């Protein structure tokens, strides 16, 4: 029993230390055999989604889903700290509880208390080690406590900076592609003179954004659970809109920047596939089809009104279908996992860009509508 407790305590300490090192310090790999952090998120995200779906009204569900990212991060750090405390407590207990307590208490709970006060460097002195080995364990654990605090202090700013960089480009899509961003709006709003060059520059910027997004979310996967400030914006919707736009350009948009679209498509698809590997979301074909033939024809007519012309014929349809199959199954499953709505190919008629909306204007309009409904005069 003693040997088992020592082995369990050492294994728990090493496992948590490796998890913290891999999560905070070590550049990430896409695949790995086992990770405690992945198990933590997979076992907590799904219950959270079920709770929100069952207990929270539909109009408030997005807000509650956005709480998960920050709360899970705090809970994960607490989980690591508790694992280290329990691991050292097991080692103390296996070594015979070599401590002296003022009240004469002994046993695992006393060892757990000593481990907790040591890890957080409280230094209360009501329970102290009495053997050289126990004192060595106390010194080692207190050092780990300081290191753990230092890593957390350095980790949180890096996380916030990566989140901020991600959201800046997503917000810039508002005026360029609508809210939520759609391929139809992105192409239609670049139908002016020199618009093709502006579109090429935009796709170039999103090629770099996709690379930075991939690097940041492989290093900090928890960022994928951090949602955007507006309900109709998200990193996945932005990626889907960019991929949709690139697919249309590559399939046959006359006079467009096909080469840049190919580069951006490759990088954005790379990001989507690697994220699906990290979160174990196997690709699945979207049902119903996001772009049935009748919607494609509607999209063709809409773009023609703004001077953008899609090629006609079976070759165009086949190439577009092949390109969509390269990313839509991955995007669809990621959307199902993160509970994020994918944008349509064609913007809804009643959609309004976020920059055009205002809480105060809506409040005034609502009050006017209510008063008109009551028959009041102004």
CATH number at residue 112: 1.10.287.70
Q: Are residues 307 and 253 in the same domain?
A: yes
At 370, the pLDDT band (50, 70, 90 cuts) reads very low
172-194, pLDDT tens digit by residue?
999 999 989 999 999 999 988 88
pLDDT at 191: 85
The pair of structure tokens assigned to 143 is 């050092």
Q: Are residues 183 and 254 in the same domain?
A: yes
pLDDT at 68: 94
Flag whether 196 is in a domain.
Answer: yes
Q: Are residues 235 and 316 in the same domain?
A: yes
Flag whether 123 is in a domain.
Answer: yes
Flag whether 161 is in a domain.
Answer: no
Flag whether 187 is in a domain.
Answer: yes
Residues 6+ apart with CB under 8 A from 298: 346
Flag whether 378 is in a domain.
Answer: no
Residue 313 has pLDDT above 70, yes or no: yes
Q: What number is the average pLDDT over the span 213-236?
A: 89
Closest CA relative to residue 234, chosen from 363, 361, 116, 66: 66
Q: Are residues 136 and 181 in the same domain?
A: no
Q: Are residues 225 and 356 in the same domain?
A: yes
Select the more confidently predicted residue: 101 or 34.
101
pLDDT at 363: 52
Flag whether 376 is in a domain.
Answer: no
The pair of structure tokens assigned to 12 is 């728990």
Angle (CA) 37 42 45, round 5°? 115
Select the more confidently predicted residue: 377 or 98.
98
pLDDT at 214: 92
Select the more confidently predicted residue: 360 or 202.
202
Residues 6+ apart with CB under 8 A from 135: 129
Which of these ranges, 27-31, 100-104, 143-147, 151-155, has the smallest mean pLDDT?
Answer: 27-31
Q: Are residues 250 and 176 in the same domain?
A: yes
Q: Are residues 52 and 190 in the same domain?
A: no
Instruction: Indicate if the alpha-carbon torsion angle 115, 116, 119, 123 is positive or negative.
Output: negative
Q: Are residues 265 and 119 in the same domain?
A: no
Crossing angle for the helix pair 58-94 and 132-177, to the nearest 10 degrees: 160
Closest CA relative to residue 110, chosen from 124, 231, 238, 239: 124
At 134, the pLDDT band (50, 70, 90 cuts) reads confident
Flag whether 206 is in a domain.
Answer: yes
Flag whether 278 is in a domain.
Answer: yes
At 358, the pLDDT band (50, 70, 90 cuts) reads low
Residue 378 has pLDDT above 60, yes or no: no
pLDDT at 287: 73
17-75, pLDDT tens digit by residue?
888 887 777 766 555 544 677 788 888 999 999 999 999 998 899 999 999 999 998 89
Q: What number is the average pLDDT over the span 295-304?
A: 92
Whole-angstrom Cα distance, residue 70 to residue 75? 9
Q: Are residues 243 and 339 in the same domain?
A: yes
377: how many CB neighbours lie within 10 A of its CB?
Answer: 5
pLDDT at 19: 82
Residue 231 has pLDDT above 70, yes or no: yes
Looking at the structure of the chain, the number of domains it has is: 2
Q: Are residues 38 and 179 in the same domain?
A: no
**What does the mean pLDDT of the chain come to?**
86
Residue 333 has pLDDT above 60, yes or no: yes
pLDDT at 30: 54
Residues 6+ apart with CB under 8 A from 97: 106, 107, 108, 110, 111
Domain end marker among 91, 119, 153? 153
Whole-angstrom Cα distance, residue 323 to residue 243? 9
End-to-end CA distance of the chain: 83
Specify the pTM: 0.85
Q: Could you tell me the residue range of the domain that residue 329 belongs to?
A: 166-361
The pair of structure tokens assigned to 97 is 């509880």
Q: Are residues 73 and 35 in the same domain?
A: yes
315: how many CB neighbours lie within 10 A of its CB?
Answer: 11
Q: Are residues 210 and 327 in the same domain?
A: yes
323: how many CB neighbours lie within 10 A of its CB?
Answer: 20
What percent of the chain stands above pLDDT 70? 91
Please identify which residue in the block is written with the tokens 């690379």. Answer: 211
HSE-up of residue 335 (Cα within 13 Å, Cβ side) = 21
């Amino acid at each position: 029993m003693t040997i088992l407790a020592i082995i369990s305590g050492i294994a728990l300490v090493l496992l948590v230390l490796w998890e913290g090192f891999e999560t905070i310090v070590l550049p990430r790999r896409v695949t790995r055999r086992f990770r405690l952090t992945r198990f933590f998120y997979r076992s907590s995200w799904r219950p959270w989604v079920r709770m929100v779906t069952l207990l929270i009204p539909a109009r408030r569900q997005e807000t509650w889903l956005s709480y998960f990212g920050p709360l899970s991060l705090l809970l994960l750090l607490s989980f690591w700290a508790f694992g280290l405390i329990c691991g050292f407590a097991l080692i103390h207990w296996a070594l015979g509880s070599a401590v002296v307590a003022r009240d004469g208490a002994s046993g695992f709970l006393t060892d757990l208390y000593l481990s907790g006060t040591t890890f957080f460097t409280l230094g209360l002195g009501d329970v102290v080690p009495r053997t050289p080995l126990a004192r060595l364990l106390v010194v080692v654990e207190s050092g780990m406590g300081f290191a753990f605090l230092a890593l957390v202090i350095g980790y949180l700013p890096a996380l916030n900076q990566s989140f901020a960089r991600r959201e800046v480009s997503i917000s810039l899509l508002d005026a360029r592609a609508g809210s939520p961003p759609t391929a139809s709006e992105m192409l239609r709003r670049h139908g002016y003179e020199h618009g093709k060059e502006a579109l090429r520059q935009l796709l170039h910027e999103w090629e770099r954004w996709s690379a930075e997004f991939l690097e940041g979310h492989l290093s900090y996967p928890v960022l994928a659970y951090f949602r955007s400030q507006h309900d109709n914006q998200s990193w996945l919707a932005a990626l889907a809109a960019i991929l949709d736009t690139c697919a249309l350009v590559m399939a046959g948009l006359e006079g467009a920047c096909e080469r840049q679209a190919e580069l951006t498509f490759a990088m954005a698809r790379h990001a989507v596939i690697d994220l699906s590997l990290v979160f174990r979301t196997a690709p699945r074909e979207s049902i119903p089809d996001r772009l049935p033939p009748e919607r494609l024809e509607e999209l063709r007519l809409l773009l023609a009104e703004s001077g953008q012309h899609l090629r006609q014929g079976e070759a165009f349809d086949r190439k577009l279908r092949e390109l969509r199959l390269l990313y839509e199954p991955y995007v669809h499953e990621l959307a199902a996992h993160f509970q994020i709505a994918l944008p349509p190919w064609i913007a809804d008629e009643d959609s309004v860009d976020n920059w055009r909306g205002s809480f105060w204007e809506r409040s005034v309009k609502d009050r006017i509508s209510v008063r008109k409904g009551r028959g009041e005069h102004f």
